Chain A
Amino acid sequence: QSALTQPASVSGSPGQSITISCTGTSSDVGGYNYVSWYQQHPGKAPQLMIYDVSNRPSGVSNRFSGSKSGNTASLTISGLQAEDEADYYCTSFTSSHTYVFGTGTKVTVL
């Protein structure tokens, strides 16, 4: 199973919006609405930010939103803040009943 494709890095100024893409295939991202997104700060465990494409767990800021079109899912961070600087990973359930993570995206707040 190949990793889902994400841009290596995305940057933005405070207050701006950024979008991170996550591209897979019809056997994973395109085939199921089981895409989730994780934020990971250096040296810390990942934290769930979005599940089932566009749902936010309790406690996650509404500045984070998710969507999907075909084989590509997206995470949008609105009103970018310094604390959003972190690595972000998507993941998807697959037709083999396994899971696959994305390659990861480093978000930099300028």
Chain B
Amino acid sequence: EVQLVESGGGLVQPGGSLRLSCVASGFTFSSYWLHWVRQAPGKGLVWVTRINGDGGSTSADAVKGRFTISRDNAKNTLYLQMNSLRAEDTAVYYCARTGLSVASLDYWGQGTLVTVSS
């Protein structure tokens, strides 16, 4: 059974940093593209960033230069390093797997809440 489990969320002050993790199981981790998607409270889904199997990545303009996606294929773990956090980064952060096609996110984690506030 495919599972994605996020952790690392919490309360952080503006300008601070946080690292999210997503532990995967039930599939060959290194073969899949992985994404981070966020959802501010009461708002819609917003794509954040994506990484392919060998580490290549793309990101949304809103997080470029502040957020870094990475992966450890030996540990079946996806990361999101978030620096220079702003109030508008407050959201539930989901990790998701690209499965059937380039734009199909076929499995999602349960999400982890990041709150940026003083």
Give the B-binding residues of A (Cβ under 8 A).
1, 3, 32, 34-36, 38, 40, 45-48, 51-52, 55, 57, 87, 89, 91-93, 96-104
Contacts and interface: CB of A to CB of B under 8 A. Distances in A.
B53 to A, nearest CB: 15
A35 B54 CA distance: 25
Summarize A's interface: helix, strand, loop or mixed.
strand
Interface stretch (B22-30, B56-64, B67-75): B56-64
Given A38-B45, A98-B58, A51 B110 contact: no
Contact of A91 (B47, B60, B109): B47
Interface residues of B, number: 25
Contacts of A47: 108
B108 to A, nearest CB: 4
B102 A57 contact: no
Given A45-B110, A98-B60, A36 B44 contact: no
Interface of B: 35, 37, 44-47, 50, 58-61, 94, 96, 99-106, 108-111
Contact of A92 (B60, B103, B105, B108): B103
B23 to A, nearest CB: 15
A98 B69 CA distance: 14
A102 B43 CA distance: 11
Given A100-B47, A103-B44, A48 B61 contact: no
Given A46-B45, A91-B105, A98-B47, 19 more contacts: A34-B102, A36-B104, A46-B37, A46-B94, A46-B96, A46-B105, A48-B104, A51-B100, A55-B100, A57-B106, A92-B103, A93-B102, A96-B58, A99-B47, A99-B50, A100-B47, A101-B44, A101-B45, A104-B44
